[in-house]
Amino acid sequence: MMKKYNFSAGPCILPQEVFQEASQAILDFNNSGLSILEISHRSADFVSVMEEARNLSLKLLGLENKGYKALFLQGGASMQFLMTAYNLLEKKAAYLNTGTWATKAIKEAKFFGEVVEVASSKDKNFNYIPKNYKVPTDADYFHCTSNNTIFGTQMKEFSSVAIPLVCDMSSDIFSREMDFSKFDMIYAGAQKNMGPAGTTLVIIKEDILGKVSREIPSMLNYKTHIEKDSMFNTPAVYAVYVSLLTMRWMDRKGGVKAMEELNNKKAALLYSEIDRNELFKGYAEKEDRSTMNATFNLTDESLKDRFDELWKAEGINGLNGHRSVGGYRASMYNALPPHSVTTLVEVMQELERKA
Amino acid sequence: MMKKYNFSAGPCILPQEVFQEASQAILDFNNSGLSILEISHRSADFVSVMEEARNLSLKLLGLENKGYKALFLQGGASMQFLMTAYNLLEKKAAYLNTGTWATKAIKEAKFFGEVVEVASSKDKNFNYIPKNYKVPTDADYFHCTSNNTIFGTQMKEFSSVAIPLVCDMSSDIFSREMDFSKFDMIYAGAQKNMGPAGTTLVIIKEDILGKVSREIPSMLNYKTHIEKDSMFNTPAVYAVYVSLLTMRWMDRKGGVKAMEELNNKKAALLYSEIDRNELFKGYAEKEDRSTMNATFNLTDESLKDRFDELWKAEGINGLNGHRSVGGYRASMYNALPPHSVTTLVEVMQELERKA
Ligand SMILES: Cc1ncc(COP(=O)(O)O)c(C=O)c1O
Ligand SMILES: Cc1ncc(COP(=O)(O)O)c(C=O)c1O
Ligand SMILES: [Mg+2]
Ligand SMILES: [Mg+2]
Ligand SMILES: [Mg+2]
Ligand SMILES: [Mg+2]
């Protein structure tokens, strides 16, 4: 079997040792003689998985004992587009529009009240992060997207706002150090840095809840899930377990600080090749480049078939850009080994030699 | 490692050969050199998993080419309590209350309109299925729960109604033959007969949709998911895959007909021991007994410690009854081998000899 270099945008590569443990637990979980897939979610073994996962997510972000609750919910980040507004939007909310996902979040919020788009980078097909916008102080909350998976831009600064700050961190959670206590709510679909598809991490400061006048159906109410420690109904047992394995791996490796160092190195390596090599150009504005998703194009489209052939022959996977951008996207999540980036850079250089 | 006899109520036992394949796919899926956990949900390999799973679910129920769509959604059956009402309840809906889950479904429906409880077995702590109730013909739909996981009762007949018939089949889907085309909508959390926790099968007749006047947020709108073939957002990739493996297993074994034969045999074996053995009595009315979840109590509570010790020593797992019923519950889902039931019966007989 050929070695694969997996640059998939999500679901994406997870650490090899996580795959090993995850595979073993399907046959025998914790030496119980039972598969992790066949145990009750109310069993002591799984209750402790859920608890450790909730605690570890807070620990990795430095948010322990600061009034936050961590939940693992179903529905993906897309369900959070809806739930944030259902739970927090009384009259008006402020949104920063930095891409496809932010646009979808705005669409769902409009079901529940007025949405002020404080700024948008749609004018340049989201290849930059708007700056110097003003957030209305009378909005119920301000929502932003830390990393734009599709366009390869990433927010480097989060201005302090006087209203609750809500952030979709689906594609760069656990990738860098930051004062996460700036945020009143953070959510992230697991399927990038945290684990497999099927669970969504929601971290929420309890004191922002209970301020809307509408009634909220049980399953959509954060309070329901907080009261039941994320076990109101059957959770996505296996997705939570593999997320825990992945968070343990991050913790062992030195946490978010160590992840950031590695991510910066990988990103620097690839972006410097994109800039140096005349056959390639980056898609995003330099100052807004994402360390997670590098988007780039060929300067000469006629080289497309040759380049595609080269990287595929090398065992590279998942490099095609999203249809709304075209070109290429190299996703370099936490678990991607630096060697994978080196391999991609070599292929880019090989194209240069052969072109 | 001691052999385990897993009577868990859900998540629950799945076929051993499914565990083998499911474990292998974590290391290498379809000889791709990649884990099933790291591939894109838009990859050809996974798109074909989703398509096969949707088609096979309809095939197993005899619902192909009859105007039904099958979806695999996140959120559990509890999310369906909400979504059915959001999508179908304009003014008034009729519900049959046969237990905890039906009660929760009713609670969520009340957010959206009037709910007529056509009958309830609450008067006897849900140990029977009400009969001879009248369903109002001017209700938007009639909702029932085919099998009551907690109380061990099961509907044997579904009267034809003139309005759409919606059924929560979470705990007995794929367990018996029936004319499923009676139903306009069927939903089931995967974690009993279909697969692991984390995905929910929703089968819906398209012509019942689009009749409510309210606007429905994207993620809660069945039409969104139908239009996108259940891939509007990232699905629970692995839970859908393992559900497919389990459905393929059922199909190989002879489908729902073969499952029913086996389930009837297992249930007959256990219920006849419950009736014969003077130390035990069944909880549910005989005519309403579930073939999936057999609920029973000791006639002499002082034998509890001795019985618990015996079955635990034998490797039996998950036999404690739900707190709202007490006593014992033996869940005998499709994948439970008949030998497990024989073992339980032997333990019951051992108690009798020793008591
Ligand atoms: C930043 C961001 N937000 C939201 C989503 C949607 O996530 P889901 O598919 O889990 O609903 C994605 C998916 O890639 C994403 O990258
Ligand atoms: C009949 C029935 N309906 C609904 C549910 C709730 O399912 P979930 O936990 O997936 O929301 C269950 C759970 O056991 C059930 O047995
Ligand atoms: Mg985006
Ligand atoms: Mg260049
Ligand atoms: Mg019940
Ligand atoms: Mg008896």
Predicted-complex ipTM score: 0.98
Domain end residue (candidates: A190, A218, A253): A253
CATH number at residue A261: 3.90.1150.10
Weakest mean pLDDT among A183-187, B156-160, B328-332: B156-160
Claim to verify: residue B276 and residue B335 sit in the same structural domain: yes
Domain end residue (candidates: B233, B252, B271): B252
> B97-115: buried (b, 16+ CB within 10 Å) or exposed (e) per residue?
bbbbbbbbbbebbbbbbeb
> Which H or E run contains A353?
helix A338-354
The answer to whether A102 and A150 have CB atoms below 8 angstroms apart is no
Token pair for residue A100?
């496809």
Strands B68-73 and B200-205: antiparallel
pLDDT band at B1 (very low <50, low <70, confident <90, very high): low
Claim to verify: residue B69 and residue B120 sit in the same structural domain: yes
Token pair for residue B239?
């839970």
Determine whether A205 is an active site residue: no
The confidence score (pLDDT) of residue A64 equals 98
Q: CA-CA distance, B207 to B186, in Å (whole number)? A: 14
Asked whether residue B3 is assigned to any structural domain, the reply reads no
Claim to verify: residue A96 and residue A196 sit in the same structural domain: yes
pLDDT band at A159 (very low <50, low <70, confident <90, very high): confident
Three-state secondary-structure class, residue B47: helix
Residue A343's contacts (CB-CB under 8 Å, 6 or more residues apart) are: A5, A314, A315, A316
Domain end residue (candidates: A253, A280, A303): A253
Claim to verify: residue A95 and residue A223 sit in the same structural domain: yes
Residue A312's contacts (CB-CB under 8 Å, 6 or more residues apart) are: none
The residues of B carrying an active-site annotation are: 101, 168, 192
Cβ separation of B3 and A111 shorter than 8 Å?
Answer: no
- Quote the ligand 2 centre to A231 CA distance (angstroms): 12
Is any ligand 2 atom within 6 A of the Cβ of residue A234? yes
Claim to verify: residue A249 and residue A281 sit in the same structural domain: no
pLDDT in tens, B26-74: 999 999 999 999 999 999 999 999 999 999 999 999 999 999 999 999 9
Claim to verify: residue B207 and residue B269 sit in the same structural domain: no
The confidence score (pLDDT) of residue A57 equals 99
Torsion on CA atoms B278, B281, B287, B288, rounded to nearest 10? -160
Claim to verify: residue A29 and residue A162 sit in the same structural domain: yes
Asked whether residue B10 is assigned to any structural domain, the reply reads no
Claim to verify: residue A158 and residue A214 sit in the same structural domain: yes
pLDDT in tens, B104-160: 999 999 999 999 999 999 999 999 999 999 999 999 999 999 999 999 999 999 988
Claim to verify: residue B179 and residue B85 sit in the same structural domain: yes
**Total of domains in chain A:** 2
Claim to verify: residue A236 and residue A281 sit in the same structural domain: no
Domain region containing A263: 256-354
The answer to whether A125 and A150 have CB atoms below 8 angstroms apart is no
Determine whether A311 is an active site residue: no
Asked whether residue B2 is assigned to any structural domain, the reply reads no
Q: CA-CA distance, B268 to B17, in Å (whole number)? A: 26
Asked whether residue A249 is assigned to any structural domain, the reply reads yes
- All residues of chain A having their beta carbon less than 8 Å from the beta carbon of residue B20 are 27
Q: What is the mean pLDDT of chain B?
A: 97
Token pair for residue B297?
């109590």
Q: What is the mean pLDDT of chain A?
A: 97
Asked whether residue A5 is assigned to any structural domain, the reply reads no
Claim to verify: residue B40 and residue B184 sit in the same structural domain: yes
Nearest CA distance, B34 vs chain A (angstrom) = 7
Claim to verify: residue A231 and residue A131 sit in the same structural domain: yes
Concatenate the DSSP letters of all residues of B258-271 into one string.
HHHHHHHHHHHHHH
By the 10 Å C-beta count (0-12 exposed, 13-18 middle, 19+ buried), B119 is classed as middle
CATH number at residue A113: 3.40.640.10
